Structure 1
């Protein structure tokens, strides 16, 4: 079973025996590299890896309190569906304009080199794929797809966005409205919004993402678990592990007695079970680890 050493943070941290100890950035990287070298790495990412691309985090330090729409609200109430689609349309252009950052590219480089065996992400922004990663499991879906809840027909979000503008010309310009983590914005009055329907069955359309209160598709979690099963160490980057999907993968890794490295600013729900916790930004830490692992 892997030893549970100190949770390491830049500056000062509490040692495993309860004493205070100081760690430099170099010492943090050295500790991580000692665990990672020669091992197949599976990676789980959360919103913290995309904040440097301009996409806000639900739960990071300083994040505003939000009450995202639940799946039940979307499904049961026409006004909620109008509010969601109107706000999502306003945020869509700005959301898709976000570009992969150096953290995304670092993971793509490590996968290309055969060091990382794949990425499981809780994000819906598609930035890992756009950065060049090949094996990506989007646990919570992707905003670039739209699905009919009645017949299952899939659509490109770009095509649905164009249909929405045809029906609602007033939504053509996203302006400077505040962007949400899932590419949505708050909208005051959606009553005049015209909903697009499925062109096959006229059913209800929904972005192909997992809403709050909705279950992750079984096949997605099986695929994510397989990545962890095939790995020799799990790296969790930019996730507070508040969402159950992340905790379940952490459970899977710890049951297999895999070393677990958590890279995240602030406390996560997995800190007590981490082999190593680095309290730092995901982007700069992943870049530094890539540079050392590939040198």
Structure 2
């Protein structure tokens, strides 16, 4: 071991939040990277798809999907964009407040420590918390930008918000093709930005892995690209990936918001963190996602057609997995759910396996070599 390696190991000997804070204050920590999943958005209030209080609940089983994943299949979207935009109406950016963890990520940026934030989430809550766009890599795309699926012409962000809110389908102003947010659908490759940014992990001095079970590839493979001397800190409700197998790995098994507050306190940043989070208080639209009439209608229909509820349950599980979203009462790093059965016999040949679906594109693989 070099003298620097010995010093880093000594700083992290406690394997706890206090040790991480000491390391972050040291001369060794200049470039912090983050890998984030659904767990950092758990406390944002994203609706439970199964709740009768959301309008989506009463619509899911009426979307005529040949199989649940079809809502995120690019070929199906070309034929029928209505299911996706029904979902988009319920998940439209602006309805949910960024979490304390999102504000902590911004704080890292303001302190000059954040190099790159890799996220699996499509909710854009990092952006709305004030994290600079240039620091964010959205591995599965997001609602932040949109374009025509035929000619590639960008589409105005304010206009698509109006369309989604009004439950209208947006069409290209140039060629009249369908417009889609830049979310990675099955059948599409991951963004070029992801592949271009991945090699920069060789410069990492600290890697936070937050709210993810590390089961979705190629995203999960990023943990192998940091140098072996680089501490990898897992903040999650359960162990994930190979974090813990290296000498300088630290595992913090608790909710993300609780962990970042403790870390901010150890760093002397708690007041700064609270100020940044308070700034997000007015970022939420007042429109409620609850639909009392839908709740009553669903309850009545369930009495007459119990199968309706079962279809909703299967669809909901698939959508939650595909979107990398967790329910407020679920574990922050829950693994993707098991693929539900087809809704009818005609759909049995279409669904992908769980592994294929998580991968998005078979050719999108993380580099095989581990940084030494």
TM-score normalized with structure 2 length: 0.56
1:122 equivalent to 2:120? Answer: yes
Summarize the Cα distance change of 1:264–1:80 in structure 2 as closer, same or farther, 3 Å threshold: farther
CA–CA separation in structure 2 for the residues paired with 1:96 and 1:245: 29
Q: Following superposition, which runs of at least 4 residues in structure 1 exceed 6 angstroms of deviation?
A: none
CA contact (8 A) 1:107 1:290 kept: no
CA–CA separation in structure 1 for the residues paired with 2:202 and 2:15: 29
Q: Which residue in the other structure is 1:282 paired with?
A: 256
> Which structure is larger by alpha-carbon Rg, 1 or 2?
2
Task: Structure 1 unaligned segments of length 5 or more: list them.
Answer: 6-25, 59-65, 172-193
Q: 1:142 aligns to what SS in structure 2?
A: strand
Summarize the Cα distance change of 1:287–1:246 in structure 2 as closer, same or farther, 3 Å threshold: farther
Q: Which residue in the other structure is 2:327 paired with?
A: none
1:263 equivalent to 2:261? Answer: no
Cα distance, 1:252 vs. partner? 0.9
Q: 2:181 aligns to what SS in structure 1?
A: strand
1:47 equivalent to 2:38? Answer: yes
> Which structure dedicates a bigger proportion of its chain to strand?
1
Q: Which residue in the other structure is 1:253 paired with?
A: 226
Summarize the Cα distance change of 1:215–1:100 in structure 2 as closer, same or farther, 3 Å threshold: same
CA–CA separation in structure 1 for the residues paired with 2:121 and 2:138: 7
Summarize the Cα distance change of 1:291–1:133 in structure 2 as closer, same or farther, 3 Å threshold: farther
Task: Structure 2 unaligned segments of length 5 or more: list them.
Answer: 50-66, 270-372
Query: Residue deviations 1:48-85, cap 9 Å, x none?
Result: 11111113699xxxxxxx954465x3324655532112
Cα distance, 1:90 vs. partner? 3.8
CA–CA separation in structure 1 for the residues paired with 2:240 and 2:68: 20
Q: Which residue in the other structure is 1:235 paired with?
A: 208
Q: Which residue in the other structure is 2:17 paired with?
A: 29
> Which structure dedicates a bigger proportion of its chain to helix?
2
Q: Which residue in the other structure is 1:182 paired with?
A: none
Summarize the Cα distance change of 1:48–1:56 in structure 2 as closer, same or farther, 3 Å threshold: farther
Paired residues in the alignment total: 236
Root-mean-square deviation over aligned CA pairs: 3.1
CA contact (8 A) 1:51 1:57 kept: no
